[in-house]
Structure 1
Amino acid sequence: MAEDLKIITSANKADQYQSLIPQIEGLLNGENDLVANMANVCAALKEQFKWFWVGFYLVKSNELVLGPFQGPVACTRIAKGRGVCGAAWERAETLIVPDVEEFPGHIACSSLSRSEIVIPVLNDGEVIGVLDVDSSELNEFDETDAKYLQHIISLIEFQ
């Protein structure tokens, strides 16, 4: 029965994103504070999907520095190329990790994190940060998540 529930959730993932996007647009409309907007996007995503951790890291002085997030305490600084976040930054591409234990150099901020997706935030072709999402379930993320999370990031004005 629990497996059936997971299948239904997977099938409805795009619908969940499509219902969430107008809400996020409403939160961002007329607000130009970057920190406030990143914080509200994290909160909206965590509430909708009940993920373990959702947050932004921003490039500062050639390292990723923790930004707004929802979830337990997190790693504060990440070097380029280190862990999933650092690798996504270095490669400038979205990384979907079905099992974080199998990712070389994974940074274990929490042993409860089992799968992860990291989407780079680009400004004029340069990575200026990443959106990091962790789940306590294996194989939580797929191309549907990548597509919609990239779209949600594009709604935030990073300047």
Structure 2
Amino acid sequence: MLGQVDRIVQERLRHLLQELVERLSLATSEAVSLRRLTQDGRTLLTVAWYHPDPEVREATGRVVSAPGSVEDSGMWRPVVGGRVVRYHMPAGSLPEQASAAQAVLLARYPLRAIMGAPVRAEDGVLLGGVALIRFARDAPFSDADERILIAFAHQVSRLLALVELD
């Protein structure tokens, strides 16, 4: 029975995090990705991902949801290093930190801006990160956007800490 309880808790926990990511996405009209570091700190796993446009969500979901090593995490590297980062790219450009897989995705769906924030446990341990991703609208993220993202990261930190990774 305990195994069943653990499985149900994990399913509901992931469902809740997915719902929260979707709500942030719909509130901001941006894509949102929530990632968790593995226990060894070497790999980033996507816990929840959402884009308000179904076509973009389906086309980008596989790349965004793929596990990646921290070493090759591209734009996630500074976030898992513990920093809030913002990028605003001119049309047709790629961030220098983009990984090869991200570059392929961004050729089809040009990225205009991305902002990421670390997610930390209550004791300060880095759990992962959350990002707002702007594909279409050419506007940098604002200080208000950053405050929303940091508040979201803080709110989901207790839940993300409970996610068991496969």
Q: TM-score, normalised by structure 1?
A: 0.68
Is 2:11 the counterpart of 1:58?
no
Q: Is 1:77 the counterpart of 2:67 in the alignment? A: yes
Equivalent residue, structure 2, for 1:153: 153
- Give 2:4's aligned residue: none
Q: What are structure 1's unaligned runs of at least 5 residues?
A: 1-30
What is the number of residues matched between the two proteins? 127
How far has the Cα of 1:102 moved from its partner? 5.1
Runs of 4 or more consecutive aligned structure 1 residues displaced over 6 Å after TM superposition: none
Conserved 8 A contact 1:99-1:139: no
Higher helix share: 2
Per-residue CA deviation, residues 19-60 of structure 1 (Å, 9 max, x unaligned), is: xxxxxxxxxxxx995323321221112212221x21211112
**1:79–1:86 CA contact under 8 A, matched in 2:** no
- 2:79 corresponding residue in structure 1: 88
Question: Matched residues in 1 for 2:23 and 2:114: separation?
Answer: 18
Runs of 5+ consecutive residues of structure 2 not aligned to the other structure = 1-8, 52-56, 162-166
1:35 maps to which of 6, 9, 14: 14
Q: What is the aligned partner in structure 1 of residue 134 from structure 2?
A: 135
Instruction: State the alpha-carbon separation in 2 of the partners of residues 34 and 151 from structure 1.
Output: 19
- In the superposition, the TM-score normalised over structure 2's length comes to 0.66
- Identity of aligned pairs, percent? 12
Q: How many angstroms does 1:87 deviate by?
A: 2.4
Equivalent in the alignment of 1:4: none
C-alpha contact (below 8 Å) 1:78/1:86 kept by paired residues: no
Find the counterpart in structure 1 of residue 3 from structure 2. none
Partner of 2:119: 121
RMSD of Structure 2 on Structure 1 (CA): 2.3
Matched residues in 2 for 1:110 and 1:42: separation? 21
Q: Distance in 1 between matches of 2:140 and 2:20?
A: 19
Name the SS for the 2:139 alignment partner: coil
Q: Please give the alpha-carbon distance, in whole angstroms, between the structure 1 residues aligned to 2:89 and 2:24.
A: 21
Task: Give deviations 1:74-129, integer Å, cap 9, x for gaps.
Answer: 3312322531112211x201111111835312133333222101111011222211
Paired position in structure 2 for 1:28:
none
